[in-house]
Structure 1
C-alpha cells in the first residue's frame, strides 16, 4: 500500500516514514500543503497522514481539496490540537480518523491498517484464498498453518492482489501502490518479485497457479470473468 506523509516537522516526518517502510508500505513525504496537493494530483495513494498546521496551505484546506477531487483516499489527521472541537471539525471536514500528538507509532500503524481495510471493504484482519491465509496485522502469510517467509515486496504484492480478488490489476496499478514515487517504472522489478513469490507458493501448493497473468491487462488472483 502507498502512503503519503504530510508533516513539516522533519524529525516526525522521517520517523513515521521509516516506521511505515519497515512494515512494507511504500511511502512518499511532503513538508507543506502545496507540495502535498501536487503529489496527490500526480500519484495514487491509498492513505494520507496529514498534519493540520502546515506551511503554504493549511492541512484542513488540503483536506478540502482532496475530498473534492479524490474522495476515496483515506485521510488520518495527525495534530497537536487536542480539543474535542478540533477533532470534530477535522472529522466533519472529511478526515477518516484523527490522532493527537504525541502519539505511539504502533497505534498510528494500526489505525492506518483499519482505514485500508475499509478502503477495500474488508473488516477482518485476515484474508484467505484456498489454503493461503494472509494476516494484515502480523504481516504474515500461512499455507497449511505453516508461515511462509516472504520479502516485504512479495508480501505487499500478495496482499494487494488478495485485497483485489476477482479483479485484474494492471502492472502500472501495482507499481503505483507498492513502490514510492522514486521507483523506475521501466524496470522489471515487479516481474522478478512476482516470479519469486510464485516459486515460494509452489513449494506448498505444487502446480496450483495462484497468481495469474492476462497478457496486456495485468495480474489477478482467483477466477475472474475474462
Structure 2
C-alpha cells in the first residue's frame, strides 16, 4: 500500500493507536487527528486518498467534516466509524457524501477490507500489486513475484503466467490461452503454448507440474497452494 495516504480521525486514543499500528504495517502513509477541526485542516493539507472518520468528535462532528471535505470537490474515499447501528445514521452519512461506514465495535480485518474495496473503486491505479497465494502481481511494473523472488519473464511469459494465476483452479484450453494471451488473430501453431508453459515451469521450479498441471486433451490448470 506504499504511496497511499490515509487520514484517521477519532477522539478515542486507543482506537487511533490500534488502527494506526495496523495500517502502518500495511504500508499506508498515515496522519491522525482527534477532533473534527484538526481533521478538516489535515484533509486540506495532506490530501488523503482515504479518510477514516469517526462520527462523534469534538469541535466538528464527522458528518460536518465529511460534508466540508466533499464540498471541496476532493477525490477522497470517506469511511465513517459509528457506534450507532441505526439506519437513519447510515443514510445521513451516505447522503453527505460518505462512501462507506463501519459500525463499532469492528475488527481490523473488516475495516481493511473496506479500505481496499474503496481503493479498488476510486483509485484502481494505486493498487498496482495484488497477492494470489505465493504470487504477487504488480501490473504497473509488469512484475511477477513468486515466493518473494521476482521472476525474469518476457512480456509474453508475464502475460501468460498472469492469465493462469488469475484463473487459478480453472481449466484453460490452449485455444483459450491463445485468444487471451496472443490474441484471436494469432495464426501460429497451438504448440507454442506448450513451449511457453515449459519455460514457465522451469522458472518456477515446477519440475513435477504440481503448480501448473496438464490435463491431457483438455488444457492446463493452476493449482495454488
TM-score scaled to structure 1, two decimals? 0.58
Identify the residue that residue 112 of structure 1 maps to in structure 2. 115
- Asked whether the 8 Å contact 1:67–1:94 carries over to 2, the reply is yes
Structure whose alpha-carbon radius of gyration is higher = 2
2:51 equivalent among 48, 52, 74: 48
Deviation, 1:141, is: 2.4
- Asked whether the 8 Å contact 2:134–2:147 carries over to 1, the reply is no
Distance 1:46 1:137 in 2: 25
Runs of 4+ with deviation above 4 angstroms: 136-140, 142-145
* Equivalences for residues 70-89 of structure 1 within 5 A: 70-89=73-92
The alpha-carbon distance between structure 1 residues 89 and 116, as it changes in their structure 2 partners (threshold 3 A), is same
The alpha-carbon distance between structure 1 residues 138 and 117, as it changes in their structure 2 partners (threshold 3 A), is farther
- Asked whether the 8 Å contact 2:53–2:62 carries over to 1, the reply is yes
Deviation, 1:91, is: 0.8
- Structure 1 SS opposite 2:152: helix
Identify the residue that residue 23 of structure 2 maps to in structure 1. 20
Deviation track 1:120-156 (CA, whole Å, cap 9, x = no partner) reads 247xxx85xxxxxx3168896245562336xxxxxxx
Deviation track 1:168-189 (CA, whole Å, cap 9, x = no partner) reads xxxxxxxxxxxxxxxxxxxxxx
Deviation track 1:93-133 (CA, whole Å, cap 9, x = no partner) reads 110001100001101001000101111247xxx85xxxxxx
Identify the residue that residue 193 of structure 1 maps to in structure 2. none
- Asked whether the 8 Å contact 2:136–2:144 carries over to 1, the reply is no
Identify the residue that residue 32 of structure 1 maps to in structure 2. 35
- Asked whether the 8 Å contact 2:80–2:102 carries over to 1, the reply is yes
2:65 equivalent among 58, 62, 79: 62
Q: Quote the RMSD (CA, aligned, Å).
A: 2.7
Identify the residue that residue 141 of structure 1 maps to in structure 2. 136
Identify the residue that residue 177 of structure 1 maps to in structure 2. none
- RCO greater where, 1 or 2, for CA within 8 Å and sep 6 or more? 1
- Asked whether the 8 Å contact 2:136–2:145 carries over to 1, the reply is no
Distance 1:65 1:79 in 2: 18
